[in-house]
Structure formats: structure tokens, C-alpha cells
Amino acid sequence: MNTGTSASTATDTSTRGRKPRRIAIFGSTGSIGTQALDVIRENPDLFEASILTAHSNAALLIEQAIRHRPHTVVLVEERGLAEVREALLPRGIEVMSGPDALEEAAAHPDYDMMLASIVGFAGLKPTLKAVETRRPIALANKETLVVAGDIVMRRAVEGRVPIIPVDSEHSAIFQCLVGETHNRIEKLILTASGGPFLGRKPNFLVNVRKEHALQHPNWSMGAKITIDSATLMNKGLEMIEARWLFNVDPSRIQVVVHPQSIIHSMVQFEDGSIKAQMGLPDMKLPIQYALAYPERIPNAFPRYDFTRSATLNFEPPDVRTFRNLALATDAMFKGGNAPAVLNAANEIAVYGFLRNRIGFLDMTDMIERTLAHVPFVERPTLDDYFESDGEARNFAASLINL
């Protein structure tokens, strides 16, 4: 287990008997961000929201700030800024905007933990800034680790900055690893729901529209991750996320489809013993666990009842149909800038699909062509990752005339 995520480095973040932990929510208007604010509201003795950031939803940002009274908010897009200022400045809330505002806010001295819940590559810079300023991170933004996981984790370990996963699979693995610091991991088993098109074949998928793809059976999430779940790219990104977060060789990561999403993931140890973390699928649980780490806090969420529905199924993923998972697996094994290129191409592909510019299966072709086009860099620097991201984005966008 990587020391960046080990229990011993994070004990100073204890919540009990202290002032509320001050949380900076990067991406407060999203699915994870709004659920985190629910958790904070339900536990006012433990948490307060100190910084809130949004991309463009000014109305929701204002509403959240009036309710939670952060000292600072960021609205990335300048449109809507006048309203935010008018509503919040008289309340003594600092309002920031513009291209560097996220990093500036991440460097603000007055918060204790960042919840990194921006979607996509845009989350990388502010998260790196939190690492640099030695703030523990509750990490939902998996793309940060997909793109530059080696650098982010190295810096976190060097700075002794705890990174506590929020992604449910990684939270599950993290929980299975508590108390196992010195025991070697034989295998990480990531569970996948299979998404809304489990069991479907390409002749069905070719006609899928975004309205179908946005209906996830078990989880209600932001649009990008919902499409990623339908294509299984999400599980591919999660394999790469796990590889860095837990410092394991790619050959030790396995994906298994488990449609009920009750087992959130598993760890197999050297003695063959397998530990699983289970519960009803509800993102508030891993969010709450990360915010309160290392403590568990009580809640009134519904419980899984073994006496009512005790059927749990498992099957291998169909990587011939859901080729995004195969592409992501290849990129993980190839390493270098391949995952960064994969991620950038995927972000453009999902954007194109959500705007009805390309079909469901075209997303995979775009990613494959972009991976073939962008030159491979074996040992990228951070600048190389940014360059590869830009190059991949431009090439992928050119394929669909964006």
C-alpha cells in the first residue's frame, strides 16, 4: 500500500472532539459536490464548507453559498459573475473567477481538506495545488490520477499528503486495506455494474441514443461518468486510478461485472483470502467516509438486508463488445502518456456523443485513432502530460469537426 494513502499518515485529520473540519469543495454544483454538501449539512459539528467552486451554474452556487456560508467561492466562467458578486459580496464572501482562480483558491490557507469533485482533466491543477500546500484530499476526480497518477502520487507521498478515495470501488479497496499496511496485495478486484447495456451486442449499441445511455441502473451521477459507465470506459479509468492510488502492478488488477453493485470492490491477499466492502449503492457513504477519515460516523441511510434479496451475480466483462475497457487496459499496461491521451480523447468523444454529433460506438473509434496519432512518450513530465492532453483533444475534436 502506498504511504500516500496509508492510515498512519492521516491520523492528524481526526474529526472527534475538534473544531469542524473545513472542507473546500471543488465542483460543489455537481453530483458528488451536492451530495457532499448534504453530508456536511447533516453533520454540522464535524464539517463546514469553506470554499465552493463551480464551472458555470451561478444560481446553484449562490444558493449553496447562502446556505453554507463559505469564506470563498469560485465561478470559473465569467458569465453569471455579476449576479454571484451581487448576492455574495454583501455577505462577506470572497468571489473569484477567471482561468487561475481554481489554483488560487486551492492555495488558500483557510481550509483543512479538499474534496476534488471537478469532472475531467480540469481537476488536475487545483488538486496538484492542494498537494503542494499539503492539504489532505478526498479524491473523486479520477481523471487526475488517470492523466498524471505517477506524479500526483509521488508528490503526495513526498509531502505526506493523504489521498482518500471517494470513488466507491477505491473507497472499498481503501477500507479493505485498513490494518493491512504491511501485507502484500495479490489482486485488486474492481466490481462493475455493467451499466445500462449489460448483455447487449454491437448491433444494439450502434443505435443507442444519449437518452438511453444516461439511464444508469444503480447510480445517479453526472453526465460524463454516466456515459463512461455505459461504455465501460469508467471501469478502465478506475483500473488506472487504482494502479496509482494503491501502487500495484497493472497485472494485479481485475474487473468483474457484478450487476447489483452491493460489493463495491475486493482485495485478495497473498494467502488467497479476499476482503470485500459491501453496502447499498449510495455515493454519500464513500463521501462521508473520506470526509470523516479515519473515523466512521453514524447515519440513517438505508441498510442492505440479506434476508430480502440475497442474490449476488458475477461475470467477466464483455471486452469485445465494450472495447473502451480493452483500450483503457492496453493504455494502462503501455503506461507513459497513453492514459493521458486515452482520457483526453474520451472526454472529447463523450462531449460529442452528448451533443448528438457521433454515435455510441464512434466514441471507441475516436479514442483508438487518437491513441494511434499522438506520439508515445515513455517517461512524461507534467508538461508532457499537459501537452499530450492538448494534442489528443485537438486531434479528437478534428475528427468530428468540433
* Residue 112 binding Mg ion, by CB under 5 A: no
Residue nearest to Mg ion (CB): 167
Q: Is 30 in the site for ligand NAD (CB under 6 A)?
A: yes
Residue 103 to residue 362: CA distance in whole angstroms? 35
- Under the binding rule (CB under 6 A), the answer on residue 29 touching ligand NAD is yes
Q: Which stretch binds ligand NAD (CB under 6 A): 12-20, 135-143, 194-202, 333-341?
A: 135-143
The answer to the question of residue 143 lying near Mg ion (CB under 5 A) is no
Task: Please tell me the number of Cα atoms within 13 Å of 170 on its side-chain side.
Answer: 29
Angle between the 362-373 and 323-334 helix axes, to the nearest 10 degrees? Answer: 20
Select from ligand NAD, Mg ion, none the partner in contact with residue 108, using the beta carbon and a kind-dependent cut-off of 5 to 8 Å: none
**Binding-site string for ligand NAD from residue 42 to residue 81, where x marks contact by CB under 6 A and - marks none:** ------------xx-x------------------x-----
Nearest-approach distance from CB 121 to Mg ion, in angstroms: 18
CA 74/CA 232 separation, integer angstroms? 32
Residue 273, burial from CB neighbour count under 10 angstroms (0-12, 13-18, 19+): exposed
Residue 389 touching Mg ion (CB under 5 A): no
Positions 201 through 240 that interact with ligand NAD (CB under 6 A): 219, 221-225
And the C-alpha cell for 15?
474529526
User: Among 5, 9, 15, 31, which residue sits at the site for ligand NAD (rule: CB under 6 A)?
Assistant: 31
282 binds, among Mg ion, ligand NAD, none (CB under 5 to 8 A by kind): none
Stretch that binds ligand NAD, among 103-111, 117-125, 145-153, 186-194 (CB under 6 A): 117-125
Selected from 167, 241, 347, 389, the binder of ligand NAD by CB under 6 A is 167
Q: Please, which residues have CB within 8 angstroms of residue 294's CB and are 6 or more apart in sequence?
A: 7, 10, 11, 13, 14, 178
Distance CA 128, CA 387 (A): 17
- The answer to the question of residue 329 lying near ligand NAD (CB under 6 A) is no
CA dist., res. 310 & res. 304, Å (int): 10
Does 32 engage in binding with ligand NAD (CB under 6 A)? yes
Among 48, 112, 143, 167, binds Mg ion (CB under 5 A): 167
Whichever of 112 and 228 has its CB closer to Mg ion, that residue is: 228
Of 39 and 255, nearer to Mg ion (C-beta) is 255
Considering only CA atoms, which of 50, 41, 87 is closest in space to residue 71? Answer: 50
Are residues 342 and 331 in contact, defined by beta-carbon separation less than 8 angstroms? yes
**Closest to ligand NAD by CB, 221 or 363:** 221
Assigned C-alpha cell, 224: 460524463
138 and 166 in contact (C-beta within 8 Å)?
yes
Whether 25 contacts 127, CB under 8 Å: no
Beta partners for residue 116, in sequence order: 26, 139
Which of 138-146, 155-163, 289-297, 361-369 is the region at the interface with ligand NAD (rule: CB under 6 A)? 138-146
Q: Is 228 in the site for Mg ion (CB under 5 A)?
A: no
Sign of CA dihedral 192, 240, 340, 2: positive
* C-alpha span between 169 and 190 (Å, rounded): 6
CB 151, min distance to ligand NAD, A: 18
- Dist CA 227 CA 328 (whole Å): 15
Question: Which residues of this chain interact with ligand NAD, rule CB under 6 A?
Answer: 27-33, 54-55, 57, 76, 117-119, 122, 140-143, 167, 219, 221-225, 283
Residues forming the site for Mg ion (CB under 5 A): 167-169
